[in-house]
Amino acid sequence: MKNTTETIQELKEEKDIVVLAHYYVDGEVQRIADYVGDSYYLSKVATQVPQKNILFCGVRFMGESAKILNPEKRVMMANALADCPMAHMASIEKIKAVRKAYEDLAVVCYINSTAAVKAHADVCVTSANAVKIVRKLPQRNIYFIPDQNLGRYVAAFVPEKNFILDDGFCHVHADLRADTIEQAKAANPSAQVLAHPECTAEVLALADYVGSTSGIIEFAGMSEAESFIVCTEEGVRHELEKNNPGKTFAFGDEVPICSGMKSITIEGVASAMLNLANEIQVDTAVSGKSNLALNRMLELAK
């Protein structure tokens, strides 16, 4: 009798499915994926793969982005209920009000947003490309939605622009506390602190490196340090330990866990593949407008 991993490998061939997984899902799920990465990498991969069907192991906004960029493909979620609370935090009414209040404004939307919100943005960004993209925008006023922490971090690198920050946040990263990071550092002074810019300014101030998930992985690989205190979702441990057998990675006393990402299992993957289930649908008008913002990101990030 076949095990779940063997079933998944067979279904990939049989049904022409490529499996994309985010670094935050369980290691067991990452192992059966064809591509593993952060939001920016996965959005690029989604436009390049030849398969007719894409199975997304991540939260809903990721599957929506893949569908918007590939309207002709079937995009399925490993778990239809896996969602990101921050994706729903930006308000379309507020975007309209800010557009009225400011001339020369660009609405810059973190990719962690619903398709409906992206449809009201001028450009999308990820944590890996936000600084680069905002610098290239001609507008002086930037309404950065929804993540206030990422927005504040980006603003510090682009002082020539006027930032209006939204009030959204990722509870997984925002809940990380500076005092617990300080305690971990005091217990292991040679450890380097690596933080995702969704963390608060107090946590970022303690970091030796701040960057996207892929940036954190790259930095840890190149660093000569042997131990690290990692301030992002715990799923990244899989890639960090795989790439760096001699190094140790701690995630603080309260290990940051994203319940949406952790709701994905290889059994769920196999079931969605078998039944071609959990297909993402995006309203055509919404898809057209959000496609502009996503493609502008891919263009400006080059």
Which residues make Cβ contacts (< 8 Å) with residue 128, sequence separation at least 6? 38, 39, 40, 41, 211, 212, 214, 215
The beta strands (E) that lie in the chain are given as: 17-22, 35-37, 53-57, 74-77, 105-110, 123-125, 141-145, 162-165, 192-195, 209-210, 227-231, 248-250
Separation of CA 102 from chain center? 29
- Closest distance between ligand SF4 and the C-beta of residue 113, in Å? 10
* DSSP secondary structure code for residue 281 in this structure: -
- For residue 233, state whether it binds ligand SF4 (rule: CB under 6 A): yes
Instruction: Note whether 237 binds ligand SF4 by CB under 6 A.
Output: no
Q: Judged by CB under 6 A, does residue 59 bind ligand SF4?
A: yes
At closest approach, how far in Å is the CB of 39 from ligand SF4?
Answer: 9
Q: Is 109 left (phi over 0), alpha (psi -120 to 50) or beta?
A: beta
Nearest to ligand SF4 of 29, 105 (CB atom): 29
Shortest distance (Å) from residue 26 CB to ligand SF4: 14
The separation between CA 229 and the C-alpha centre of its own chain, rounded to angstroms, equals: 20
| Options 7, 43, 79, 112; binder of ligand SF4; rule CB under 6 A | 112
Helix axes of 266-275 and 4-15: crossing angle, nearest 10 degrees = 30
Contact flag: residue 90 with ligand SF4 (CB under 6 A): no
By CB under 6 A, tell whether 261 contacts ligand SF4: yes
Kindly write out the interface string for residues 12-31 of this chain, putting x where it contacts ligand SF4 by CB under 6 A and - elsewhere.
Answer: ------------x-------
Which of these ranges, 1-9, 84-92, 100-108, 205-213, lies near ligand SF4 under the rule CB under 6 A? 84-92
> Quick one: which segment of 69-77, 83-91, 238-246, 265-273 binds ligand SF4 (CB under 6 A)?
83-91
